[in-house]
A = this chain, B = another copy of it.
């Protein structure tokens, strides 16, 4: 089987232990993460061949990233070295009514300052069957929109399936900028993934009778949004994650997959959260895994939602649950009884 390629930024993640705030911390837990790297690790963990493409500084921190990705089975041979720094982000884990916070220190990273010539997509994609990126990648640096477009064109040329998670980040660009750039890229995309606010933020496509900030989700309106998106850009598949935040500690979680004119909804899970960051990425990885393995649409969305439900119980961004554990949850074993 050919490999999956994901492309984007990977950063150092630093968070105080437990529920401490940065102001209280005398040490920080260290991991590495980023939307597309999270997807790559999750897929490798599910047993897929996956290669992560990025640009890293040629120093000890770059080596740490390589080692971390290798540990989880991701191929790192297509990563290029150069530039000045590794992006960093700081997480404070929230609880109850106190929200988690994410503080980025990612400007001037190696990939943010990368050039069009850094990536030889013909070479990178020569053995691929799937290409995945997110809406963060084109937002991080001046040359990235063009680099993403080159990648998409080459993927298209080779008949490689393309997926994109919209992942709108307001700290990186305005809605206008995002809309303009993403409108150029999404037409290449076969599978478009989004959470319930991204589609509105980036393309102004809104569900009817629904206010996401109030936490209520209306099934019909999301099908409508998926349909609009699918039509507008010709995406074969649109997947939307459906999160109801009861508090920072408890969320309801589900998702839908829209394809061939039908919408498939997964069951909703009530989650006691361990670490919520990376939840959306684990949904994307679950869906890509399911579709690569030829799952039926209903089973695919069930797998993706169950995988990402379990992610919320895992520390740090990466989703380190097995296919067996996901399928066990899909089969309805939600009780969390001890496995001896």
Contacts and interface: CB of A to CB of B under 8 A. Distances in A.
Contact of A30 (B26, B104, B312, B335): B26
A315 B94 contact: no
Contact of A273 (B96, B306, B313, B316): B96
A213 B19 CA distance: 29
Given A61-B90, A70-B71, A85 B107 contact: yes
A321 B60 contact: no
A249 interface: yes
Interface string A213-257: 101000000000000000000000000000001111110000000
Most buried by B among A70, A84, A321: A70
A333 B214 CA distance: 8
A100 interface: yes
A59 interface: yes
A274 interface: yes
Most buried by B among A19, A25, A101, A315: A315
A269 B97 contact: yes
Interface of A: 14, 17-31, 59-61, 63-64, 67-68, 70-73, 84-86, 88, 90, 92, 94-105, 107-108, 169-171, 213, 215, 245-250, 269-274, 276-277, 306, 309-310, 312-316, 320-321, 325, 329, 333-340
Contact of A338 (B97, B100, B249, B269): B100
Contacts of A70: 70-71, 73
B97 A247 contact: no
Contacts of A102: 338-340
A59 to B, nearest CB: 6
Nearest to A170: B340
B105 A336 contact: no
